[in-house]
Amino acid sequence: MTDPSNQDPSEKKGWFGRLTSGLRKSSAKLAGGIGDLFTKRKLDDAALEELEELLITADLGAAMAARLTANLAKTRFGKDITGDEIRAAFAEDIAASLTPVAKPLVIDSFKKPFVILVVGVNGAGKTTTIGKLTKQFRDDGKTVTLAAGDTFRAAAVEQLQVWGQRTGAPVIARETGADAASLAFDALNESAARSDDVLLIDTAGRLQNKDNLMAELAKIVRVIKKKDETAPHAVLLVLDATVGQNAHSQVEAFRNIAGVTGLVLTKVDGTAKGGVVVALAEKFGLPVHYLGVGEGVDDLRPFTAEDFARGLLGFS
């Protein structure tokens, strides 16, 4: 994948514009709230408490809210402070906390294929994410096979086949209701025979509290390991950012069942709950590989800590 730090400056500026636009609802809640509390005001206990409450309601989580306000108090307690100064301090602290999890998804060229299992609940955007990743991988010159592991929904298979046609990637599919684990095993055999660079496996959306569906996901992982004990090499959990704090239970459940290795946040542009990314980073420390802020194929990009933090605090 292209390192975001090596992007053309005009391209990076264009993406940052889309990111800040996508985060507008979240930044309006957070930056707007800070602006409402502070024009110029002394940072006392009451002000810190109001700030902490605001951060929690913006879905940053209690632990991060406490840390941000404590850091601010260390240098500014008892002094006059403006909303802009607070936003700048918070953006710097949030960027620092996100930097350890802002890791690109690296495809190991020695794995043929590099197997990526994509999991998540219904409606999170798994199939669309797979399509966008396929486009990026193909643009990088990689050979890719897609496995239509959501065997419950004919529409999901059709959607994946459309992406396959667009990108020149073969799609392995079976009849509706077929065994998803068997399909994954067959797909791995076919992809390995071609020495593909990447195998992307879609899975059915499943609620984290449905034991039978989660057991099926565990079976898919076991069957893949029978062919290649090192696979899947990446397990991406696609999270719909609009669910806010409910994302925590999803991460816990899918990590326990499927061994999630990284996160993809979608629909960030449709919510005021974008701050949940910060809370997830604080709690789980899982890599955040990609952020989606729109429907376009170029609206899924590698996650960058500083850009996200600045966008979240309303800096353009």
Whether the CB-CB separation of 223 and 181 falls below 8 Å is answered with yes
pTM to 2 decimals?
Answer: 0.91
Amino acid found at 176? T
Domain 114-304 bears CATH identifier 3.40.50.1240:
no
Which residue, among 20, 19, 15, 23, has the nearest Cα to 274 in the 3D structure? 23
Provide CATH 1.20.120.140 ranges for the chain. Answer: 4-101
Domain at 4-101, CATH homologous superfamily: SRP54, nucleotide-binding domain (1.20.120.140)
Cα angle at 127 between 121 and 130, to 5 degrees? 120
Q: What is the pLDDT of residues 25-48, one digit of tens each?
A: 888 889 999 999 888 889 999 999
pLDDT > 70: what percent of the chain? 94
Instruction: Evaluate if residue 4 carries a pLDDT over 60.
Output: no
Per-residue pLDDT band for 245 (boundaries 50, 70, 90) equals confident
Provide CATH 3.40.50.300 ranges for the chain. Answer: 114-304
